[in-house]
Amino acid sequence: MINLIYYELLKIFKKWRTYIGFIAIGILIPLIEFVLYFSGQGIIENTTKRLEQDFILVGNLFNGWFVTHLIMNSLWIHIPFLICLVAGDVLAGEASAGTYRILLIRPVSRDKILISKYIATLIYTLSLVFFLAFISLGLGLLLLGTGDLLIFKDGLLILPQDELWFRFFLSFLFASYAMCVVSTLAFLFSSLVENSIGPIIGTMAVIIFFFIIGNLPYDFFITLKPYLFTTYLDVWTLVFDEKIDWSMIVKHILILSIYMLSLFLPTYLLFRKKDILS
């Protein structure tokens, strides 16, 4: 099985499209951080101007932690899109290239092939999120230094510097897990079609549609919201509460796990019995 995963990873990482995500992050994040380094101080000044009438704010609030926290908002739409580029291609790419015909004629079970592809997809997802963490935190702290973290969430919250390594580690860990749901959805769509464009567009359409209806302030949509997986993709934000609500995090993780399982199960059942006609 490890062998199969190795070769699936080889296939993923030998493809040019795999690096689009890494290149996009590798260019955009440093660009954002350099721009913020030269002109971003205004953001903090504008925000804290009114507060300074009542409080004395000391220390470096416009720091690497703050910028990384800002950048993590790309986890709503941008990073899922980069994940879909690869996850949507893992199965559909084999169909469109005709390589199922050399792969599935081997004396190895389809279950093993599917599971190895899925694990390789999850590894790619984790690597992309951790690359985002490495670049945004690494460069952010190097350029803008460290300090307490200023957060605007139901008011103003300042998290002390000494907790931030742990909080950001958890945050990226949970973000990776949430992104695995996105890749599982793209993987499901990828098993249904023979062209990777469909799974990419399909996954993004579902995410955007769910985000929109999950945020509409009408009773029907409010009732619907707990059933949408996008509601729980924000699990990474929960570690930035003043007091971490572990029960809420566990609930989110459990629900995301159920979604992952219920998206993977049909993929598995379909793939086992799928006629390979490509």
**Segment lying near another protein (by CB under 8 A), choices 14-22, 126-134, 164-172, 245-253:** 14-22
Q: Does 243 bind another protein (CB under 8 A)?
A: no
Q: Does 106 bind another protein (CB under 8 A)?
A: yes
Residues in the chain: 278
C-alpha torsion sign, points 176, 177, 181, 184:
positive
Q: Which is nearer to another protein, 13 or 76 (CB)?
A: 13
Tell me phi and psi for residue 159, to 5 degrees. Answer: -100, 130
- What CA–CA distance (Å, rounded) separates 86 from 89? 5
Interface residue with another protein among 1, 3, 155, 219 (CB under 8 A) is 3
Q: Which of the residues 35 through 64 are near another protein (CB under 8 A)?
A: none
191: left (phi over 0), alpha (psi -120 to 50) or beta: alpha
Q: Which residue has the tokens 């742990």?
A: 166
Q: Does 269 bind another protein (CB under 8 A)?
A: no
Which candidate, 33, 34, 61, places its Cα nearest to that of 47? 61
Interface residue with another protein among 62, 100, 187, 232 (CB under 8 A) is 100
Question: Contact, 213 vs 219, CB < 8 A?
Answer: no
Q: Which is nearer to another protein, 96 or 146 (CB)?
A: 96
Question: Contact, 84 vs 199, CB < 8 A?
Answer: yes
Q: Which is nearer to another protein, 103 or 244 (CB)?
A: 103
Interface residue with another protein among 16, 38, 218, 220 (CB under 8 A) is 16
Residue 32 in tokens? 């954002």
Q: Does 2 bind another protein (CB under 8 A)?
A: no
Which candidate, 85, 92, 154, 152, places its Cα nearest to that of 117? 92
Q: Which is nearer to another protein, 143 or 276 (CB)?
A: 276
Interface residue with another protein among 107, 154, 217, 243 (CB under 8 A) is 107
Q: Does 273 bind another protein (CB under 8 A)?
A: yes
Q: Least separation, in Å, of the C-beta of 109 and another protein? A: 7
| Residues near another protein (CB under 8 A) | 3-4, 7, 10-11, 14-16, 97-109, 113, 273, 275-277
